[in-house]
Amino acid sequence: MITLLQSLKGIGWLCNAKSVRCFKMVRMCSESLRKTPLYDFHRSQEARMVDFAGWSMPVQYKDSHIASHLHTREHCSLFDVSHMLQSKVVGKDRVKFMESLIVGDIAELKENQGMLSLLTNEKGGVIDDLIVSQTSDGYLFVVSNAGCADKDSAHMKRKLAEFKAAGYDADLEFLERGLIAVQGPSTARVLQEGMSDDLSKLTFMSNAVMTVFGVPGCRVSRCGYTGEDGVEISVPIQRTVELVESLLKHSEVKLAGLGSRDSLRLEAGLCLYGNDIDETTTPVEATLMWTIGKRRRVAGDFPGASVILGQIKEKTKRKRVGLTSTGPPVRQHTPILNADGKKIGEVTSGCPSPCLKMNIAMGYVESQYSKAGTPLKVEVRKKIVDAVVSKMPFVPTKYYIVK
């Protein structure tokens, strides 16, 4: 899960001339940006900092974007994601409250188990995507996107006031904690050296509170945004730098920024909020129907249910698809054409794949053209290029799932 770069609309701009001017402007106004607990640490590591959803965030370190991307696939990388909104929902009616906002079946979650879900509006549009975890400590732990933090918190507060006025018991607390992601095939081996519990007990989308390299009170969630095995660690804010420094003592671990994070998530076929999903797209159009719990479908008791369930029954006019192509890179807003040259959709995310050595993208097309293998075309800088609808993920995922 990553936010939209509000001012620059994603990070596909990094390799063009205009980005240099944007980057200079970002540096000039950096004093007005919010800073994570690792801001000074990033600067000490010579990170290139950019404005990301109102936060000063590292886009790249000393290694090239491609080197950082491949290191994550082959070893493991550490990402600062402390800009994301962390909150907890408490009270005996906390599950009912959360389910009044999202499409997921929170009641079915076991203790210390989480799920990706969608915050939807009454028209079925996606307000945000977020991870909700049931904890053994009597509350729901929620992580949502930094770029949506203001609207998410306002929406949740407004709905909470209505919920409590109806006589229900729930409350909401926004947390001030650091959040780091460690991603890649070496993650478990590296972390286990400094963990107070057996990491193999944590399967994909489960979590536990433990001591990590001497830092107590860390909530370790086995999840991530790269398609690799990995964890996200919610850490006491004053000890975030300490934990990062401990992890970086291991030769397998390197720092990674937003540039590689974006290409990694695209290879994994994962959506970027604000690019690939937003309030004008529904879970059905975005091919995210799996986020809708079976019980919730039957009950039809989530925001926008009439629209979403109607689309499931009657099909949609457009669908999110993956695309591959050769030639010039395909970027956001690139027109997608059918064989006759008619525009049938638009790219929402795209980049050259460091692993596959070809261009990959995702976008929305008219449903009749959404079948994998369908030959299409894309218009890149007024040049027509062949493309094909491809299954996602583009690169196989390696989540830690015990069968």
Residue 251 lies in a domain: yes
Alpha carbon of residue 266 to chain centroid? 10
156 within some domain? no
Residue 390 included in any domain: yes
Question: Is residue 171 domain-resident?
Answer: no
* pLDDT tier, 402 (very low <50, low <70, confident <90, very high otherwise): confident
Question: Does the pLDDT value for residue 18 go beyond 90?
Answer: no
In a domain, 284, yes or no: no
Domain edge (last residue) among 267, 302, 337: 267
Q: Which range of residues forms the domain containing residue 363?
A: 317-402
Residue 29 binned pLDDT confidence (cut-offs 50, 70, 90): low
Co-location of 192 and 49 in the same domain: yes
| Residues of the binding site | 232
Regarding whether 60 and 186 lie in a shared domain, the answer is yes
12: in domain: no
327 inside domain: yes
Mean pLDDT of 124-137: 98
Is residue 4 over pLDDT 60? no
Tell whether the model's pLDDT for residue 192 goes beyond 80. yes
Give the DSSP per-residue string, 239-277. GHHHHHHHHHTSTTEEE--HHHHHHHHHHTT---BTTTB
- The verdict on 191 and 262 lying in the same domain is yes
Q: How far apart are CA 97 and CA 56, in angstroms?
A: 33
User: Does residue 224 form part of some domain?
Assistant: yes
pLDDT in tens, 54-107: 999 999 999 999 999 999 999 999 999 999 999 999 999 999 999 999 999 999
Task: Let me know whether 386 and 240 are in one domain.
Answer: no
Which residues fall in the annotated binding site for substrate?
Answer: 232
Same domain, yes or no: 205 and 341: no
The length of the chain is 403
The arithmetic mean of pLDDT across residues 259-284, rounded, is 98
Q: Six-digit token pair at 117?
A: 């879900």
Final residue before a domain boundary, out of 227, 243, 267? 267
How many folded domains does the chain comprise? Answer: 2
Q: What is the mean pLDDT of residues 358-362?
A: 97
248: domain CATH number? 3.30.1360.120
Task: Work out the average pLDDT over 344-360.
Answer: 97
Residues 228 and 357 in one domain: no
Contacts 24+ apart (CB under 8 A), 40-44: 41/241, 41/244, 41/245, 42/80
pLDDT at 205: 98
Q: Are residues 65 and 214 located together in one domain of the fold?
A: yes
